[in-house]
C-alpha cells in the first residue's frame, strides 16, 4: 500500500518469496482471502469467535489482501473485518464493494452516485478506517450509466477515502467505458477451471489495460476440493441450492468431473484445491485468486498452493477435465444472471 505521500510500500510478507502480485501500486501476494462466507450466502455464518480466529490466522500466514462488501451479511462482514483487522490496518490491503446492498432484508442493486457515497461513508465506519484500498462497483446498475457510478468512486479517490477503483462481474466493454472515466485497478469476476467466462474478453482487456483480474470462487464454490458439498446436507438458505450446476443430474455429472480431477491432483502430489489454485495462478501474474473458507485447515491448504509446482502437462489435463464444455449447467439462475454484466458461454447462462 502507499503511505501519506503516495510512496509504494510493502504490506506484510508474501506467502512465498518472489510471489508478490499487485493491484495498482499495492502488493497483495499471490492470493487474498474472500471474507464473504464468514457472514453470508453459505448457510449459517461462522460465530464471531470462529471468524476472528480465521482472519487472524490468515494474517499470520502472510495474507495481506482481504476482500469484503457492503452486501455481505448486510454490513455484518465489514463490521467483522473492521473489528478484527482494524488494529492491523497498516499490514493489510483492504477491499470492499458498493452498488449492491441489503435494503429491508433484500438485495438491491443501486449504482446512483448518492447511494455510492452513502455506502462508502458507512463502509469506512464499519471497517474502522479512513481509506479503502480497493473499492469495487459490485454490480452494474442497468438504470445508471457506469460512467456515473465510477465517477462517484473517482470522487472518493480524489477525496482520499479510496485508493483504487474496482469493478465486479463486468464485461470487457463495460470495463473500457469505466476505465475511460478513471483508471480501473481491479476487475473481480468469477474465474476458475469450471467458470471460464473471463476468457471471453475480460481477461484480455485486463492484460491490455494493466488491470488485475481478481478471481472469486476459484474453487468452484467447493466442488474443486477434496470434499465437494453434499447438497442434501446444506442449510436451506445456502445459495448453491438455487444454482443450476448444483441441481439433480447436472450436479451428478459435475461430481463425476470432480472425481476425475481429484485423481489427477492425487497423481500430481497435491490436493484438488491446490491444483485448481495453481491452474489459476498459471494464467498470469495479473490474476489474483481470493478463495474463501471457514476452516483454518482449508485456509492453510489453500495458501500452501502458492508453493506447489505441477507440470504444464498436468495443468493442461486439468483444463481438459474441467472446462466450459464439460461442466453441466449455468452458473446462475436466470434471475441472478440478470444482475451480472459478464460475457457468458451459451450453456453458462
228 located within any domain: no
C-alpha cell recorded at residue 124: 469506512
Supply the pTM of this predicted model.
0.94
Given the residues 72, 136, 191, 251, the one annotated as active site: 72
* Range 16-25 average pLDDT: 76
CA distance 75 to 342: 25
Find cell 488485475 and name the residue. 212
**pLDDT above 70 for 20:** yes
CA 87 from centre of chain: 23
| pLDDT class of 211 with cuts at 50, 70, 90 | very high
Question: What digits encode the pLDDT tens for the residues 46-70?
Answer: 999 999 999 999 999 999 999 999 9
**pLDDT above 90 for 121:** yes
72 given a catalytic annotation: yes
CATH number, domain at 101? Answer: 3.20.20.100
Q: Are 195 and 217 in contact (CB under 8 A)?
A: yes
Find all residues with CB under 8 Å of 230, minimum gap 6, and list them.
none
Whole-number percent of the chain with pLDDT over 90: 90
302 located within any domain: yes
* Range 119-141 average pLDDT: 98
**Nearest CA-CA partner of 68 in 104, 48, 39:** 39
245 located within any domain: no
Question: Where are the strands (E) in the chain, listed by range?
Answer: 22-23, 26-27, 33-34, 65-67, 93-98, 100-103, 106-109, 132-137, 162-168, 184-190, 212-216, 287-289
Q: Are 1 and 93 in contact (CB under 8 A)?
A: yes
179 located within any domain: yes
Query: What domain count does the chain have?
Result: 1
CA distance 16 to 303: 10
CA distance 296 to 137: 30
Whole-number percent of the chain with pLDDT over 70: 94
Q: Which domain holds residue 134?
A: 22-219+285-307
17 located within any domain: no
326 located within any domain: no
277 located within any domain: no
pLDDT confidence of residue 43: 85
Strand pairing of 93-98 and 132-137? parallel
162 located within any domain: yes
Strand pairing of 106-109 and 100-103? antiparallel
**pLDDT above 80 for 212:** yes
Amino acid at each position: 500500500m502507499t503511505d501519506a505521500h503516495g510512496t509504494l510500500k510493502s504490506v506484510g510478507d508474501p506467502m512465498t518469496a518472489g510471489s508478490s502480485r499487485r493491484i495498482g501500486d499495492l502488493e497483495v501476494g499471490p492470493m487474498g482471502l474472500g471474507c464473504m462466507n464468514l457472514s453470508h450466502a453459505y448457510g449459517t455464518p461462522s460465530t464471531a469467535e470462529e471468524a476472528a480466529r480465521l482472519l487472524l490466522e490468515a494474517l499470520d500466514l502472510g495474507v495481506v489482501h482481504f476482500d469484503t462488501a457492503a452486501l455481505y451479511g448486510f454490513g455484518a462482514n465489514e463490521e467483522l473485518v473492521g473489528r478484527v483487522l482494524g488494529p492491523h490496518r497498516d499490514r493489510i490491503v483492504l477491499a470492499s464493494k458498493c452498488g449492491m446492498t441489503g435494503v429491508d432484508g433484500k438485495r438491491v442493486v443501486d449504482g446512483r452516485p448518492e447511494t455510492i457515497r452513502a455506502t462508502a461513508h458507512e463502509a469506512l465506519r464499519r471497517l474502522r478506517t479512513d481509506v479503502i484500498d480497493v473499492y469495487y462497483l459490485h454490480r452494474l446498475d442497468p438504470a445508471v450509466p457506469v460512467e456515473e457510478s465510477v465517477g462517484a468512486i473517482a470522487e472518493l479517490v480524489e477525496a482520499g477515502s479510496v485508493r483504487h477503483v474496482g469493478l465486479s462481474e463486468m464485461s470487457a466493454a463495460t470495463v473500457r467505458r469505466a476505465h475511460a472515466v478513471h483508471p480501473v485497478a481491479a476487475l473481480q469476476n468469477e474465474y476458475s477451471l469450471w467458470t471460464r467466462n473471463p476468457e471471453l474478453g475480460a481477461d484480455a482487456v485486463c492484460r491490455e489495460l494493466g488491470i488485475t483480474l481478481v478471481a472469486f470462487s476459484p474453487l468452484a464454490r467447493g466442488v474443486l476440493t477434496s470434499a465437494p458439498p453434499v447438497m442434501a446436507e446444506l442449510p436451506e438458505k445456502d445459495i448453491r441450492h438455487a444454482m443450476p450446476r448444483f441441481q439433480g443430474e447436472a450436479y451428478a455429472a459435475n461430481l463425476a468431473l470432480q472425481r476425475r480431477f481429484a485423481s489427477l491432483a492425487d497423481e500430481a502430489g497435491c490436493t484438488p484445491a491446490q491444483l485448481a489454485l495453481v491452474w489459476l495462478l498459471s494464467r498470469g501474474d495479473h490474476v489474483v485468486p481470493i478463495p474463501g473458507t471457514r476452516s483454518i485447515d482449508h485456509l492453510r491448504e489453500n495458501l500452501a498452493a502458492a508453493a506447489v509446482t505441477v507440470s504444464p502437462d498436468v495443468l493442461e489435463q486439468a483444463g481438459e477435465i474441467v472446462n466450459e464444455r464439460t461442466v453441466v449447467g449455468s452458473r446462475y439462475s436466470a434471475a441472478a444472471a440478470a444482475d451480472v454484466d459478464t460475457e457468458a458461454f451459451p450453456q453458462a447462462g
